[in-house]
Structure 1
Amino acid sequence: MSLAFINIFLSLFTFGIVVAFLGASKLYIAQKLGLNDARMAWLISLNQFSNLLGTLIAGYGLVSISYKLVLGSGFLLIIGSIWLVGTYQIYWPVTIALSGLGLGGSFLNVGSNALLPVLRPNNPSSITNLAHACFGFGALVLPILLTLLLRRFGWRKALNILTFLILIPTLMSLVAFYPTTSNLPNSTNSFSFLANKTILLAMLASFCYVAIEASLATWLTTYLKQAGWNEIKASGFVAFFWLALMVGRLLASSLLTANNGLFLIQLLTLILIITLMSMTTFITLWTSVLSVVMLGFCCAPIFPTLVGVTFAKFDSALSGNIYALVAAVGMGGATILPYIVGRVSSSISIYYGLRILILPASILLLTAFYL
């Protein structure tokens, strides 16, 4: 197993940390900066927009130059951004840091997903779920680790320790050897496949799913707090969402074949809709935690399976361009929907905000029947 292949898993693990960071630290950042849900929602949307922008830059620029460039620069941006959030408790430095965090995370996301089908072209749905389980593991570890570090060391020192830990995969990404674009046959930066039905449907499905996952990752702490848990326990219980996400993707990697991926997306999206309805209607302390677990299991294989099903229909040399399009459209959803959920949460309640997710989930379900 090459170091480049190992770095795919380390990059997705770190991307999981990045995605979970804002959700796990949202209550602390809002308290330190004196922000309500509406203003925090704007910061979250800015972070997601940076992720969208970075996805396009990486997929249609940096990946075509060098895998080492896109992964290495992603890690360095993440390190600098987390350090900035921990050092300055002022609005504009935090705004810049969250933008940098979105850019860095998107570089890791695109670089690793573009490299995966090049190094392992067989059964892309299965291997993508396995790799994305590392994303879930990173997102699982972060809330637990951050809670422990905050209790013992406080905000600034906790984030400095987190920054130091991310230096390890950063160094590994910089010393590895990667395939070059000149070795990839038929590599292209053309948008010509935009007219392809599979690509268009995958983009629509990605818009809906990523918007849902980003909204849940961001606002589940608020949901749990509204259900009656305190801030520390709410942040800790969100780890169950990421645990379920990781376990679900590991299971999917062993169960998926080239023929059953779409059925799995359809089934779990239907259960997701039912869970969203029930969790915002029947609310107790422990049913709120159970709902968080169910959401994680439902979300687990949807996006990596969608990516794998799409990759299987094209040459692996196009994976960077295809993933950039699909993921960028998804980031568009992640930019818009969490902001809307936050606004509704601020003006009415988090329960009404989360009910909005039923609409994109329904569109996702319908789209999966035509992919």
Structure 2
Amino acid sequence: MIQLVAILSVFVLGIVFSLIGAIKLKLAEKLGIDDAKVGGLISTLMFTSIFVVLFIGPLVDAWGHKPFAILGFLLSGAAIFLFSTLKSYKGVVFACILLGVGGMCVNTVGNTLMTVVLFGGQNAPAALNFGNMFFGLGAFSTPFLAIFLIHRLGLSKTVSLIALIAFAPIIFALVTTTYPALPPAGFDIANAVALLGNPAVLVAALALFCYVGLEASMGGWITTYLTSVGLPAGKAGGILSAFWIAIMASRLGTSGVISPENGVTAILALALVAAVSIFTMTATRSNALAGTAVVVTGLAFGPIFPTIVGVTFSKINPELYGSVFAIIFAVGLLGATILPAAIGILSKGKTIQKSLIVAAVTALALAVIALIMGRV
């Protein structure tokens, strides 16, 4: 049962992060807002998440996983339901704030719990690769569910159904009794603060700044890139789906072979593959090669996030996993706010294809950081 709580936590996180993108066209029509204000909703979710995760992480270490699993499923479901009922932009901004709080609860619970309850608690990188496949499943299935149902049921009923899916795992969170025990000596906030000077934590934070920024950039710009090189919109959307499937597949595939011992080598190799594939995207004039490079990038991306977190956890006392995750994920979210915007700004007066050079250089920077990670 505890394994279900961990896996369903990251599944719901996938729903949280994909919801606005999945319903943005109909939501904008309902609220009478333009793309800039839709972007404002996404920014609200991201900035809320950055600040909230810094508090949730240490609190999970102090109070345990159960209260935040319950709170996360409750708030995520409630926030999504508000999207179906509220009719004002300010109201939906509030829903985004609530969604950020709920999302960071399930995020922290899922990613810290999986390392303890999967693979016997002995292989954090493998556990996180396997578990985070379900994050991809949540993020991938939400847009498909929205597309399929909105034309049949309308926006309100569709979003209400997604809210129910996000809320339902609270049953498992409530009835599960086998959560990890709190440390006998209690939680000392000084130990959490001291992590800010831990080289392993700081290097992991830089690595996630690069990786989360890369994933957000690819997810946000792939269809624009593919249509700019001549692919029709429908095919571009299909390749974007293949990108996310590749991420899920590579996480599942590597969960059987990844370990704390080979994790840094894997990050280095995968970052280099991603750099080459993104450089290829910036240079090719072939539609087929462009699509292939996108899918290869997804395959390379998949294991990087869970392996960075897992390798870092393997160097830290499990009693501080929540605090560690709070620091490194908050920095990762900063990357997700800065890098996609930088690519967009650079594309003005150029093409999105040429501006992806920023992503390629970031992948190379991640490879360099992986080398440092192996030494701290």
TM-score interval (norm. to shorter): 0.7 to 0.9
Distance 1:182 1:265, change over 3 A: closer
Distance 1:289 1:84, change over 3 A: farther
Matched ranges for 1:1-371 at <5 A: 3-29=1-27, 33-36=32-35, 39-88=37-86, 90-119=88-117, 120-179=120-179, 182-183=182-183, 187-189=187-189, 190=191, 191-226=193-228, 227-230=230-233, 237-282=239-284, 286-344=288-346, 349-371=351-373
CA RMSD of aligned residues (A): 2.7
Higher relative contact order (CA 8 A, sep 6+): 1
- Say whether the 8 Å CA contact 1:81–1:97 is kept in structure 2: yes
Distance 1:240 1:211, change over 3 A: same
How far residue 56 of structure 1 moved from its aligned partner, in angstroms, is: 1.0
- Say whether the 8 Å CA contact 1:246–1:300 is kept in structure 2: yes
> In structure 2, the residue corresponding to 1:244 is in which secondary structure?
helix
Count of aligned positions: 367
Which segment drifts farther, 42-51 or 122-131? Answer: 42-51
How far residue 224 of structure 1 moved from its aligned partner, in angstroms, is: 4.5
- Percent identity over the alignment? 33
> In structure 1, the residue corresponding to 2:179 is in which secondary structure?
coil
How far residue 129 of structure 1 moved from its aligned partner, in angstroms, is: 0.9
Distance in 2 between the 1:263 and 1:62 partners? Answer: 31
How far residue 183 of structure 1 moved from its aligned partner, in angstroms, is: 4.1
The code of the aligned residue for 2:357 comes to R
> In structure 2, the residue corresponding to 1:314 is in which secondary structure?
coil
How far residue 73 of structure 1 moved from its aligned partner, in angstroms, is: 1.5
Distance in 2 between the 1:224 and 1:74 partners? Answer: 36
Distance in 2 between the 1:99 and 1:249 partners? Answer: 30
> In structure 2, the residue corresponding to 1:182 is in which secondary structure?
coil
Query: 1:321-340 deviations in whole A, cap 9, x for unaligned?
Result: 11111111111212322333
How far residue 45 of structure 1 moved from its aligned partner, in angstroms, is: 2.6
Runs (5+) with no aligned partner, structure 2: none
Distance in 1 between the 2:224 and 2:238 partners? Answer: 12
Distance in 2 between the 1:35 and 1:284 partners? Answer: 34
Distance 1:347 1:187, change over 3 A: farther
Distance 1:285 1:171, change over 3 A: farther
- Say whether the 8 Å CA contact 2:78–2:167 is kept in structure 1: no
Distance 1:101 1:357, change over 3 A: farther
- Say whether the 8 Å CA contact 2:62–2:182 is kept in structure 1: no
Query: 1:186-214 deviations in whole A, cap 9, x for unaligned?
Result: 74432113222211111111111111112
The code of the aligned residue for 2:244 comes to W
Distance 1:348 1:158, change over 3 A: farther
Distance 1:325 1:286, change over 3 A: same
Distance 1:357 1:91, change over 3 A: farther
Runs (5+) with no aligned partner, structure 1: none
- Say whether the 8 Å CA contact 1:63–1:70 is kept in structure 2: no
- Say whether the 8 Å CA contact 2:60–2:322 is kept in structure 1: no
TM-score by length of 2: 0.87
Distance in 1 between the 2:37 and 2:350 partners? Answer: 15
- Say whether the 8 Å CA contact 1:72–1:170 is kept in structure 2: yes
- Say whether the 8 Å CA contact 2:70–2:173 is kept in structure 1: yes
Query: 1:213-265 deviations in whole A, cap 9, x for unaligned?
Result: 122233334444545444x7655543322211111011111011332111111
The code of the aligned residue for 1:158 comes to T
- Say whether the 8 Å CA contact 1:47–1:98 is kept in structure 2: yes
The code of the aligned residue for 2:317 comes to D
The code of the aligned residue for 1:60 comes to P
The code of the aligned residue for 1:165 comes to I
- Say whether the 8 Å CA contact 1:74–1:108 is kept in structure 2: yes
Distance in 2 between the 1:279 and 1:267 partners? Answer: 19
